[in-house]
Amino acid sequence: MNAYPILIVTAVAAEADALRAELDPDLVVVEAVGVGPAAAAAGTARLLAARTYRAVISAGIAGGFPGRAAVGGTVLATRSIAADLGAETPDGFLPVDELGFGSSVLDCDPVLVKALRAALPGAVTGDVLTLSTVTGTAATADRLAARFPQAVAEAMEGYGVACAAAGAGVPFAELRTVSNPIGPRDRAAWRLADAFAALRAAAPAVAALP
């Protein structure tokens, strides 16, 4: 058995509880750190400073891009992208990369991604966007789909967790299950029970990571 556990970071307690129910706490530590990239980065950095982990996973429910990730399905990120980190211009959005102030894209660890894909063969793989304001209109959904043709889902924490992991030199991955399609906000149509069931079903794949 590996000497160090894996850390899973979620936004809220309900996500953490769903994962903990399926995992041995000696092998995988699950902590909820708050909603949004700032809370995710700060909370993850605190946890990584307090204990040694062999990997950190950002996990939870997400919105899926229609036609790319089905509601109730599981998504694995190849990259976590801060989709709203940049500047507006008359010609459109400029990511922070083009402004010369760093990068809005962080790659997930390829070894972790490969292992998760093998354990979760039904999962969809692609970019997962991190947004401080989640999508609520068809126009925004269309713009994001055009800007990010490889994006399969959006959430609010992945990039923050990835930044903390990179700063600590710890391998990072992001795993999401889809509760709703992105676009016009319709809470009545969200399938939270299906997303949480998929999250619980995916938990053993994390425990089996190298």
Q: Is residue 167 part of a domain?
A: yes
Q: Is residue 129 part of a domain?
A: yes
**Domain hosting residue 70, numbered range:** 6-207
Q: Is the CB of residue 129 less than 8 Å from the CB of residue 153? A: yes
- Domain count for the chain, please give it: 1
Is residue 12 over pLDDT 90? yes
**CATH number assigned to the domain comprising residue 169:** 3.40.50.1580
Q: Is residue 22 part of a domain?
A: yes
Q: Is residue 1 part of a domain?
A: no
**What pTM was estimated for this model as a whole?**
0.94
Q: Over the stretch 48-84, which tens digit does the pLDDT of each residue have?
A: 999 999 999 999 999 999 999 999 999 999 999 999 9
Under the banding of pLDDT at 50, 70 and 90, the label for residue 1 is: low
Q: How far apart are CA 19 and CA 29, in angstroms?
A: 10
Q: Is residue 197 part of a domain?
A: yes
Q: Is residue 110 part of a domain?
A: yes
Burial of 108 (0-12, 13-18, 19+ CB in 10 A): buried
